[in-house]
Structures are given as structure tokens and as C-alpha cells.
Amino acid sequence: MVLRFKFKKYGPIVYLGHLDVMRYFQKAIRRSGIDAAYTEGFSPHLKLSFAQPLSVGVETDGDYYDLEVNTLPDMSTIVKLFQDNCVEGFDIVSVTLLDDGTDNAMSSVKAADYELTFDTPYDKASLDDFFSQDSFVHEYYKKEVLKSKDIMPFIYNHEYIDDKRIVVRVDCSSMNNLKVSTLTGAMEKYGIEQKVVYYKRLDLFTEKDGSYVSLGELGQVYD
């Protein structure tokens, strides 16, 4: 049986690297007393997998890890059980008992929602023009090598929240992951005068029956 945990990360905790986050939750799982499953061999490890890692310094309202268990705990209190073993900066949002045959969190990810905050009120007309393009090839450096990428096929939609914030859904799959830094760099190159000064990840999605579904909605949810 596999449980999927949805969690928030905020405050100073966002400056932990992905490996530190993994180690933290491994300890939290052991402290919780849950009957977790381990690999076999000389050095057993928890059967634990995370969805796509998040850059250091970025807040999230919706990241995930999957944990295989031997026996089910009391699902009515499991969120409180894990929350009691988390420090400030980590919040367990919900736990899902996955349906049989559900792919693990890492391989399931297809898209992500990011909330972008601008330094000053944005010009909606300019943003509409940018997002309505069929193609926009953005050049950027990666490890001192010049790369180019047509980013528009990997931007799925956008929504205006208020005069400084928008939410953008982008490809977040292992093959075509569109980084926010690449997106904001392209917006600046296009001529968007307002600067994105802060962003956070809101949720991760997979594809199901032709639409995007949150990773936390693929089973029986407990919150």
C-alpha cells in the first residue's frame, strides 16, 4: 500500500536543499511510528520517493512524496500524526491512499502551477501579447553553454490574480521541464518591463482522461 503526502514548505526552511528535505522526512517518518516498508539487503532504506525537486529558496504550497507501508495507520488522524513530527516551515496538507496501479509521484508529474509576483503592477496587454504567441525562442546559458528553447509549447495557461500576481501552468515533466527562471528571462527579453521578484509553486499535476489532475487527488484523500 502506498500513501501520498502533500506538504507545504515555507519560511527559512525553503533554504534547505532537496537532500536535506529527504533526510528530514525520513526522520519524521521514523518518529511517527508508522509501519513503513523498507528495502531489503545490508543497508535497508525506506521505500520513499519524492516528486520533482524544488529549487533552493522557493516556497511551495503543493509538493509530494510517496511512502510504501506494510499496514495502514489510523487514517482519520494521520495528518495530525505527521504534523506533530514536523517543525515550523513544513505543513502536511493531506494524505492520499493511492489507487492500485497509480504511478509514483516522480514519474507522474506533467505540469506545475506557479504564482509569479511582480515588483509593480503589470501591463495586462503586454502579458496577453506575450502569452498569445505561437512561438518564442529564448536563448540562455546553462553551465556556460548557450542553449535555445522555444518555450511557448510548454506554457499551458495563465490566470490573473490581482494587479501584481499571476498564476502560470507550465510543463514540469522530466523531459520538458520549463524552469521559472527560463520563463521570466523570456518575458524580460520580450520587453515586459515589470520584474518577477518572487514566485512559489502552488501544485503539481498529472494527466488523466485528457485533463490535468492534482497529484493529491488520485485516491482516497484524508486532510
Please, what is the Cα angle at 107 between 26 and 75, to 5 degrees?
50
Q: How far apart are CA 211 and CA 101, in angstroms?
A: 19
Quick one: what percent of the chain has pLDDT higher than 70?
A: 100
Please, what is the Cα angle at 80 between 74 and 86, to 5 degrees?
125
24-33 contacts at long range (C-beta below 8 A, 24 or more positions apart): 24/90, 25/65, 28/82, 28/85, 28/86, 28/90, 29/67, 29/82, 31/85, 32/81, 32/82, 32/85
Residue indicated by cell numbers 500513501: 3
Please report the pLDDT score of residue 41 as a whole number.
79
C-alpha cell at 144: 556556460
Count of Cβ atoms closer than 10 Å to residue 65 Cβ: 22
* pTM above threshold 0.85: yes
Please report the pLDDT score of residue 146 as a whole number.
86
Q: How far apart are CA 75 and CA 81, in angstroms?
A: 10
Contact call for residues 94 and 215 (beta carbons, < 8 A): no
Question: Residues 34, 40, 45, 49: is their CA dihedral positive or negative?
Answer: negative
Question: Using one digit for the tens of pLDDT, what is the confidence trace for 144-164?
Answer: 888 888 999 999 999 999 999
Please report the pLDDT score of residue 165 as a whole number.
96
Q: How far apart are CA 180 and CA 197, in angstroms?
A: 12
Domains of the chain: 2-108+213-222 (3.30.70.580), 111-205 (3.30.70)
Q: How far apart are CA 89 and CA 79, in angstroms?
A: 15
C-alpha cell at 185: 528571462
For the chain, residues with pLDDT lower than 70 are none
Please report the pLDDT score of residue 116 as a whole number.
96
Question: Residues 91, 161, 164, 172: is their CA dihedral positive or negative?
Answer: positive
Please report the pLDDT score of residue 12 as a whole number.
92
